């Protein structure tokens, strides 16, 4: 088991956001987390990546307890987070935004190799490496965000709302890239608003409602779950 979350509770001040959440991610998988807005998806990802810390429960990566590590320490462990909304530095170039992802201890020495791999995945970024991030299209900005995450040399990359605001063609291109990333040995944990597409792309999935995991299983099996169909597909 590569990543194991066990019975975590998470609070924002006095407001509880997650109740007893448990999930597992095996090496080489693409695992999806589905749920409505406000269900707790982003909170869960922030907790895994050390932005938030649970009040109860544990998070283990490669068998090591990372529950209370700081975010920069978790990046060093091998978990990279691509946040919702991309969070690029708009006045910096594509190259500068990418290089920022490689300042953790383990990836500095392989910065050149990692940059070459990112350009191989996203050739347009090499063409536009000296262009300011704010001048890129939404799809290109998402490529930079994913590329920046890959620059940290992760074992797991967690991606929050990759397709938000993008055209179906761009979404298909990005999903193809995710499969290439996985083929290179990087495990993927994905939160995605496009539930139908995500369940057809992922290996397994968890459904979260009001801060609790309510369903889990093989992604294609969940497509047929009546509760999922009622909630997301209007069927």
pLDDT for 71 beyond 90: yes
SS3 143: helix
pLDDT for 62 beyond 80: yes
DSSP state of 212: E
Q: Which CATH number fits domain 3-233: 3.40.50.300, 3.90.870.10, 3.40.50.720, 3.40.50.920?
A: 3.40.50.300
Average pLDDT, stretch 208-234?
86
Which of 4-18, 152-166, 216-230 has the least mean pLDDT?
216-230
pLDDT tens per residue across span 102-133: 988 778 788 889 999 999 999 999 999 999 99
Residue 235 confidence class, pLDDT cut points 50, 70, 90: low
pLDDT for 230 beyond 80: no
Residue 126 CB burial class (10 angstroms; 0-12, 13-18, ≥19): middle
Given this model, what pLDDT does residue 123 score?
A: 96
Q: Domain residues of the chain, as ranges?
A: 3-233
pLDDT for 234 beyond 70: no
Given this model, what pLDDT does residue 101 score?
A: 93
Q: Mean pLDDT in the chain?
A: 93
The pTM for the full model equals: 0.92
Nearest to 148 by CA among 124, 119, 175: 119
pLDDT for 232 beyond 80: no
Given this model, what pLDDT does residue 115 score?
A: 96
Give dist(CA 153, CA 110) in Å, integer.
Answer: 8
């Amino acid at each position: 088991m590569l990543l194991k979350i066990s019975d975590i509770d998470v609070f924002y001040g006095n407001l509880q956001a997650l109740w007893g959440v448990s999930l597992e991610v095996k090496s080489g998988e693409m695992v999806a987390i589905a749920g409505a807005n406000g269900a707790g998806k982003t909170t869960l990802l922030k907790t895994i990546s050390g932005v938030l810390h649970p009040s109860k429960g544990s998070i283990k990566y490669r068998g090591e307890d990372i529950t209370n590590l700081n975010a920069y320490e978790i990046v060093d462990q091998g978990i990279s987070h691509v946040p919702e909304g991309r969070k690029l530095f708009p006045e910096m170039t594509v190259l500068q935004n990418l290089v920022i992802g490689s300042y953790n201890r383990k990836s500095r020495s392989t910065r050149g190799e990692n940059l070459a791999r990112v350009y191989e995945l996203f050739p347009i970024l090499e063409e536009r490496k000296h262009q300011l991030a704010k001048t890129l299209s939404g799809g290109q900005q998402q490529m930079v965000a994913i590329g920046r995450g890959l620059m940290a040399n992760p074992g797991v990359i967690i991606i929050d709302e990759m397709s938000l605001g993008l055209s179906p063609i761009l979404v298909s291109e990005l999903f193809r890239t995710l499969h290439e990333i996985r083929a290179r040995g990087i495990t993927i944990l994905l939160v995605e608003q496009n539930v139908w597409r995500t369940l057809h792309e992922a290996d397994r999935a968890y459904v979260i409602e009001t801060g609790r995991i309510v369903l889990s299983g093989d992604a294609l099996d969940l497509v047929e779950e009546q509760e999922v169909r009622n909630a997301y597909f209007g069927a």
